[in-house]
């Protein structure tokens, strides 16, 4: 299996491939000349086609399909609600059923700082299974239990139900439902002060301060009720970078990015559709937000919007932001995508292994005995044999090199020499 695609009209889709090879994009030409047969499956709706395309790409990993790869591993804050005593921890990799995730975050230390502030108010277990079991055996909690940053369910200070309630309140606060909880704490603080329980009031005051500091770590960018993902794409002829900002409760709760080789001829809308499949293919419920803001809407848009709605369980607004704060934030996400693509290209250019492999492929394609140490590329243009202009690009050891001034002589006007403008890659 070398490529998986969907089409409302199979005849139109195949006719765009099987034509004069000279008219095809180089990547499409390579795919067509590699293929030995075409197989198809008929489904009832375009949404089913989208689902089947996603599952087959995951199963067969086709060579000519766009496949995003993370430019780095992003950690998430996870609450293991599938355990008897839920645990708060940093998690990477594939998501597990029954675990509530928040993020992803750019750095693990950012999660740990947030958790350290939150544990003062929500003393949920953070220890491993081994530490939990050992504390239960010896009847003494760990240090966090002694300093009040764990409710110590291991030694029975709270019941399993009470500890789960703490974990669920922790999740509610992280999900953006902060106002109600803060107001409740403030009311309890004032009541304690009126009853002259000043130590309790002071502790509640410190708890409120800790929660507000934790909230300040996430920038407020949109209205409080906004749950949205913003997706931006930066691309060139060979590669594309995708950046996603996760906004929950009006705050940027996480960010992530992917880079891909454009192995198939695909436009921005196609890249967005692939990104949506990558981002929400394994998600259900609230993990899919109410709004998904994109730079270009896939055509047709209805099947993609319906696919997202099926995964969320309610309507999802898929659109391009036109004005206001959301458009401004989209521009920020776009700048991040452009910087990610530039950084990726810089890393690839400085990667000796990548350069060596590319030079070996050139030597093999040209039938050379060894990899070329210097490559000179010329391009000549003219107007019916007159006004000849030449450009020259030099690569040395796979990196752009300095170019000396080149000259070209016009065949139509012998004796006239023209300085040729030079370009650098």
- pLDDT tens-place string over residues 260-269: 887 777 888 8
**Structure-token pair, residue 240:** 């594309």
Beta strand pairing call for 291-293 and 228-235? parallel
The burial of 316, by beta-carbon neighbours within 10 Å (0-12 exposed, 13-18 middle, 19 or more buried), is given as buried
Question: What's the average model confidence in pLDDT over 119-148?
Answer: 89
Residue 358 in tokens = 């590319």
Q: Is the pLDDT of residue 293 over 90?
A: yes
Return the structure tokens found at 340.
């990610």
User: Considering the domain 221-350 in this protein, what is its CATH number?
Assistant: 3.30.420
Kindly list the distances between the CA atom of residue 324 and the CA atoms of 142, 250, 251, 328, 329, in Å, as whole numbers in the listed order: 50, 14, 16, 6, 9
**pLDDT band for position 373 (50/70/90)?**
confident
pTM flag (> 0.75): no
Q: Which comes out higher in pLDDT, residue 172 or 216?
A: 172
Please tell me the predicted confidence (pLDDT) of residue 286: 75
C-alpha to C-alpha distance for 178 and 170, rounded to whole angstroms:
10
For the record, the structure tokens of 172 come out as 């509610």
* Intervals of CATH 3.30.420 along the chain: 221-350
Report how far residue 305's alpha carbon sits from residue 87's, in angstroms, rounded to the nearest whole number.
Answer: 35
Q: Residue 197: is its pLDDT beyond 90?
A: no
Cis preceding-peptide flag for 300 (omega within 30 of 0):
yes
> Residues 350, 354, 356, 362: is their CA dihedral positive or negative?
negative
């Amino acid at each position: 299996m070398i490529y998986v695609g969907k089409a409302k009209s199979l005849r139109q889709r195949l006719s765009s491939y099987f034509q004069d090879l000279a008219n095809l994009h180089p990547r499409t030409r390579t795919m067509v000349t590699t293929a030995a047969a075409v197989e198809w499956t008929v489904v009832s709706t375009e949404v089913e086609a989208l689902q089947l395309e996603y599952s087959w790409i995951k199963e067969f990993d086709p060579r000519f399909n766009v496949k995003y790869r993370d430019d780095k591993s992003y950690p998430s804050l996870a609450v293991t609600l599938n355990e008897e005593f839920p645990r708060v921890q940093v998690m990477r990799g594939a998501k597990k059923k029954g675990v509530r995730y928040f993020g992803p975050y750019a750095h693990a230390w950012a999660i740990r700082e947030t958790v350290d502030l939150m544990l003062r108010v929500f003393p949920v277990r953070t220890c491993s299974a081994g530490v939990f079991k050992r504390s239960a055996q010896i009847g003494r909690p760990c240090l966090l239990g002694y300093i009040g940053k764990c409710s110590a369910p291991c030694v029975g200070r709270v019941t399993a139900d009470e500890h789960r309630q703490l974990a669920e309140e922790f999740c509610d606060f992280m999900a953006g439902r902060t106002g109600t909880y803060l107001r409740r704490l403030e009311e309890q603080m004032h009541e304690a002060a009126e009853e002259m329980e000043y130590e309790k009031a002071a502790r509640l005051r410190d708890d409120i301060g800790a929660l507000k500091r934790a909230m300040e770590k996430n920038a407020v960018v949109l209205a409080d009720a906004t749950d949205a993902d913003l997706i931006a794409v930066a691309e060139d002829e060979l590669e594309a970078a995708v950046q996603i900002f996760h906004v929950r409760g009006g705050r940027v709760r996480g960010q992530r990015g992917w880079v891909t080789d454009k192995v198939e001829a695909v436009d921005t809308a196609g890249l967005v559709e692939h990104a949506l499949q990558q981002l929400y293919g394994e998600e259900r419920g609230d993990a899919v937000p109410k709004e998904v803001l994109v730079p270009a809407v896939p055509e047709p848009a209805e099947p993609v919007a319906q696919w997202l709605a099926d995964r969320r369980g309610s309507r999802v607004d898929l659109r391009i932001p036109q004005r206001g704060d959301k458009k401004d934030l989209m521009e920020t996400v776009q700048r991040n995508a452009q910087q990610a693509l530039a950084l990726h290209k810089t890393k690839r250019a400085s990667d000796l292994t990548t350069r060596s492999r590319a030079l070996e492929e050139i030597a093999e394609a040209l039938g050379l005995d060894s990899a070329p140490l210097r490559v000179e590329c010329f391009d000549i243009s003219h107007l019916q044999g007159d006004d000849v202009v030449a450009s020259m690009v030099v690569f040395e050891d796979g990196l752009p090199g300095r170019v000396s001034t080149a000259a070209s002589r016009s065949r139509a006007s012998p004796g006239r020499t023209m300085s040729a403008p030079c370009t650098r890659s």
